[in-house]
Structure 1
Amino acid sequence: MLESVYIGMSGLTAYSRGLQTISNNVANLNTAGFKTSTPRFADLYYGQQFAQGSPGSGKTMQFGSGVEYGYSSLNFAQGDLRASSGQLDLAIQGNGFLALLDGSTTRYARTGQFAIGDDGFIEDKASGLKLAALTSSGSLEPIALDGKQINPPQATTVIQFADNLSSGSTNFSIPNVEVYDANGGKHTLTIAFAPDSSIIPGRWQVTVTDENKLPLQQGTLQFNGGIPEPGADKIDFTLNSPDAPPLTVTLDFSTGVTGFSAGSTSSLRVSNKDGYATGTLSSMNVDADGQLILQYSNGQTDTLGAIALASFSNPQPLLQMGNGLFDASQASPPQYRTSSGAGVGQLIAGASEASNVDLSTEFGQLILIQRGFQASSQVVSAANEMIMQLFQMRGQG
């Protein structure tokens, strides 16, 4: 009869742990990236005894020892993806895990909010672990922004033009043409066109002046049949600056420029030019291939690396660590891929994955566990009453 008490107590213990699992699931309803655990129970060792008068292995009676809380399996069903304000908030649409480096140890997460740490590495705000990129050799390395906070300037070397410079115009100018020297200094130029066809038809005098109205260069642009004449379709000028070396810039009219008559109206414009000022890092995002793209204030972009995604053949051995992290020391080594690679989903920037807690499922489990606990409690109470009755009978004897 004492065995019945112990069996009932095993039920109380197991269902208490089951209740703890359900409580943890419900408490993490709004925890980003949280994965629920499903309670599992297992029956305990069965003792054997031969039936009286019937010896032999086929004539045995088995007596169970109760129930235990076997294990709680993780539910890796994806939670809802929700937009967030952080430009480095990352989530995964589909399978896979983000790889986070803790020294020489790798941890894994389904979602995370990342920022640039004091040491220049991209770190998870909650845990401080470093986000990992996948190298060309297939290894992991932390993503560092050393030398990437500033985008160096590039000097202007060519200005290209397009559209029509009407032969009927008496004069025409293009103001506010911005160029940059080797140190990123900006200079605003005006390019003026005056007809000079007294000797040769289709000839224009081109004058370049700086922001101080000082002339930098005069040159000749020659049209032949409304098309710029080769050898007379480019003009070089030199810009001198006290803060930078002399800068030579080419005015290129060779492609897309015409000189047909359109009355007094010309549509000639700057179609393209190189060069830009020094830029500071203004934003970061992730493209469809999982590449981390840096955007600078000067309009330039740079690629920092492909964020690594881990694919596990069986994620069940992963252990939850808190802060949305998983430990893979008991799991088979993962395969590392980039976004949308084999076995992994699409990396989404500016989003986070919500918990996959389903309250209706959890409350259903809660009712079953509560009933199991009540039944085990009744078993203990009944066994206790029977033991008390036995003691009373012995006392009467």
Structure 2
Amino acid sequence: MFGAIYIGLSGLNAYSKGLQQVSNNVSNLNTTGFKGSTVSFHNLYATPDRGGMSLTGQGGSAGYGVEVDDGTLNFKQGELRSTDRDLDLSVDGSGFLVLLDGDRTLYARTGSFEVDPAGFIVMSGTSYRLATLDATGRAVSLSVDARRTSAPKATTAVTFADNLSSTATSYAVSDIRVFDASGAAHVWKADFVNGSDGWTVTVTDDKGVTVGTQTLKFNAGIVDPATAKLDFADAASGLTVQFDFSSGVTSFSGGEVSTLRAAKVDGYAAGTITGIAADSAGKLQLTYSNGQKVDGGAIALADFRDPTRLEQRDGLFVEREPGQSMLLASDDPRVGQVRSKRLEASNVDLSQQFGDLILIQRGFQASSQIVSVSNDMIQQLFGIRGQG
């Protein structure tokens, strides 16, 4: 009967711990990236070499109570919820983001990131650096400090498109913005005058100073290859810009209406970072105020042979046994894809937790009843003394 009391007490203890696991799951219902654990119990056995009174999970044949398991993490994908931050990242798949903290490596399913004063991309509120893959496939921390600005590029070509009416006498394309080597902008204007020997093209700058004059010719409405590309050199700005008419420019009758335009102008001014986000290929992309984009490297994703062997700590995961992971890039089917402006919600199933809660409560009540009945029987046994 004393043994029954101890068995009942093991039940009270196990179901109390089971309640803690369920409570932890439920309380983290809205914790970003949280993975719920499955509550389970196993039988305890007595070891004959210790007189049958020691409780252990090995050996023996008689049951001596119950014990709660540590709990197995459920890595089912949580809902990916939209946000308005480019550096809110999540993984659509089974992979894990890799975080570097000195010599330690941590893993996360999702997280809000920011740029720290040193230029490293870190998880908000921590010093954990987001890892990218280098050329050899190793996980390295990325600093954008050296890439905070985008160097200017001088304009070398202006590409024209559409039609220059063959019956028009003149036409002008204004507001052609070109950039010199220092990134300074210059506004040019191209005047087209129809003459007997073709179109005279005169380019002037924003001060009205003539940059240069060239002749553009057409053969049956098609640009003469000999004049398809015209160079204009500006000594004041140090620019030599090629006007390219070879890509679909025509000269057909259309009354006095022309649609010729500067479709593309290369070159740009200096720029500063305006955004950092993960692109569709899972690479960090830096966007600048001058419209340029720079690839910052592929975000490292870890694939584990058995994710259930990971330990969950403060919304992050650590390896119990190092060396169980493989580093891959986004889009690999083994890890999935990195999503920007997404955070993964908790995967806790509330209905399942309430079901477990009821079962744990019933188990606790039954175990307490065993203790109560055993105590009553012992009291009755003590009362036998003196009866006869």
TM-score by length of 1: 0.89
Which residue in 1 is equivalent to 2:52? Answer: none
Which residue in 2 is equivalent to 1:164? Answer: 163
Counterpart amino acid of residue 135 in structure 1: D
Q: How far apart are the structure 2 equivalents of 1:388 and 1:331?
A: 55
SS at match of 1:341: coil
Q: How far apart are the structure 1 equivalents of 2:101 and 2:243?
A: 54
How many percent identity over aligned positions?
48
Which stretch of structure 1 is more off in the superposition, 118-127 or 161-170? 161-170
Change (3 A) 1:29 1:326: same
Q: How far apart are the structure 2 equivalents of 1:94 and 1:180?
A: 45
What's the offset of the Cα at 1:113? Answer: 0.9
Matched, 1:8 2:8: yes
Q: How far apart are the structure 2 equivalents of 1:207 and 1:327?
A: 68
SS at match of 1:281: strand
Q: How far apart are the structure 1 equivalents of 2:256 and 2:63?
A: 105
Q: Deviations over 1:61-118 (max 9, x none)?
A: 9543211123211111111111111111111222111111111211111111111111
Which residue in 1 is equivalent to 2:355? Answer: 364
Would the aligned equivalents of 1:314 and 1:332 in 2 still touch at CA under 8 Å? Answer: no
Q: Superposition pairs for residues 337-356 of structure 1, below 5 Å?
A: 337-356=328-347
Which residue in 2 is equivalent to 1:176? Answer: 175
Change (3 A) 1:179 1:127: same
SS at match of 1:276: coil
User: What is the RMSD of the two structures over their aligned residues, measured on CA atoms?
Assistant: 2.0
Which stretch of structure 1 is more off in the superposition, 156-165 or 115-124? 156-165
Which residue in 2 is equivalent to 1:185? Answer: 184
Change (3 A) 1:258 1:70: closer
Matched, 1:154 2:153: yes
Would the aligned equivalents of 1:37 and 1:75 in 2 still touch at CA under 8 Å? Answer: yes
Q: How far apart are the structure 1 equivalents of 2:178 and 2:356?
A: 69
Q: How far apart are the structure 1 equivalents of 2:360 and 2:217?
A: 92
What's the offset of the Cα at 1:256? Answer: 2.2
Q: 2:375 aligns with which of 384, 390, 393?
A: 384
SS at match of 2:309: coil
Q: How far apart are the structure 2 equivalents of 1:332 and 1:171?
A: 73
Q: How far apart are the structure 1 equivalents of 2:147 and 2:386?
A: 89
What's the offset of the Cα at 1:313? Answer: 1.2
Counterpart amino acid of residue 44 in structure 2: L
SS at match of 1:82: strand
Which residue in 2 is equivalent to 1:56? Answer: none
Q: How far apart are the structure 2 equivalents of 1:95 and 1:62?
A: 41
Q: How far apart are the structure 1 equivalents of 2:209 and 2:370?
A: 103
Which residue in 2 is equivalent to 1:23? Answer: 23
Q: How far apart are the structure 2 equivalents of 1:126 and 1:210?
A: 52
Matched, 1:206 2:205: no
Change (3 A) 1:340 1:253: closer
Which residue in 2 is equivalent to 1:119? Answer: 118
Counterpart amino acid of residue 207 in structure 1: T
Which residue in 1 is equivalent to 2:55? Answer: none
Change (3 A) 1:356 1:88: same
Which residue in 1 is equivalent to 2:216? Answer: 221
Would the aligned equivalents of 1:40 and 1:70 in 2 still touch at CA under 8 Å? Answer: yes
What's the offset of the Cα at 1:321? Answer: 0.7
Would the aligned equivalents of 1:191 and 1:208 in 2 still touch at CA under 8 Å? Answer: yes
Counterpart amino acid of residue 144 in structure 2: L
What's the offset of the Cα at 1:185? Answer: 0.7
Q: How far apart are the structure 1 equivalents of 2:221 and 2:64?
A: 102
Would the aligned equivalents of 2:232 and 2:242 in 1 still touch at CA under 8 Å? Answer: yes
What's the offset of the Cα at 1:392? Answer: 3.1
Matched, 1:235 2:241: no
SS at match of 1:147: helix
Would the aligned equivalents of 2:276 and 2:285 in 1 still touch at CA under 8 Å? Answer: yes
Number of residue pairs the alignment of both structures matches: 378
Where structure 1 has 5 or more consecutive residues not aligned to the other structure, the ranges are: 50-60
Q: How far apart are the structure 1 equivalents of 2:235 and 2:14?
A: 84
Where structure 2 has 5 or more consecutive residues not aligned to the other structure, the ranges are: 50-59
Matched, 1:284 2:283: no
What's the offset of the Cα at 1:250? Answer: 1.6
Q: Deviations over 1:282-335 (max 9, x none)?
A: 12322232111222221111111111111111111110111x101113365211
Q: How far apart are the structure 1 equivalents of 2:321 and 2:300?
A: 21
TM-score by length of 2: 0.91
Q: How far apart are the structure 2 equivalents of 1:344 and 1:268?
A: 50
Change (3 A) 1:285 1:5: same
Q: How far apart are the structure 1 equivalents of 2:354 and 2:19?
A: 11
Which residue in 1 is equivalent to 2:75? Answer: 76
What's the offset of the Cα at 1:258? Answer: 2.5
Q: How far apart are the structure 2 equivalents of 1:267 and 1:209?
A: 20
Q: How far apart are the structure 2 equivalents of 1:255 and 1:367?
A: 74
What's the offset of the Cα at 1:126? Answer: 4.2
Q: How far apart are the structure 2 equivalents of 1:116 and 1:166?
A: 54
Would the aligned equivalents of 2:177 and 2:265 in 1 still touch at CA under 8 Å? Answer: no
SS at match of 2:306: coil
Which residue in 1 is equivalent to 2:102? Answer: 103
Counterpart amino acid of residue 367 in structure 1: I
Matched, 1:256 2:248: yes
Change (3 A) 1:334 1:47: closer
Q: How far apart are the structure 2 equivalents of 1:395 and 1:97?
A: 72
Would the aligned equivalents of 1:172 and 1:193 in 2 still touch at CA under 8 Å? Answer: yes
Which residue in 2 is equivalent to 1:136? Answer: 135
Change (3 A) 1:332 1:15: farther
What's the offset of the Cα at 1:212? Answer: 1.7
Would the aligned equivalents of 1:42 and 1:70 in 2 still touch at CA under 8 Å? Answer: yes
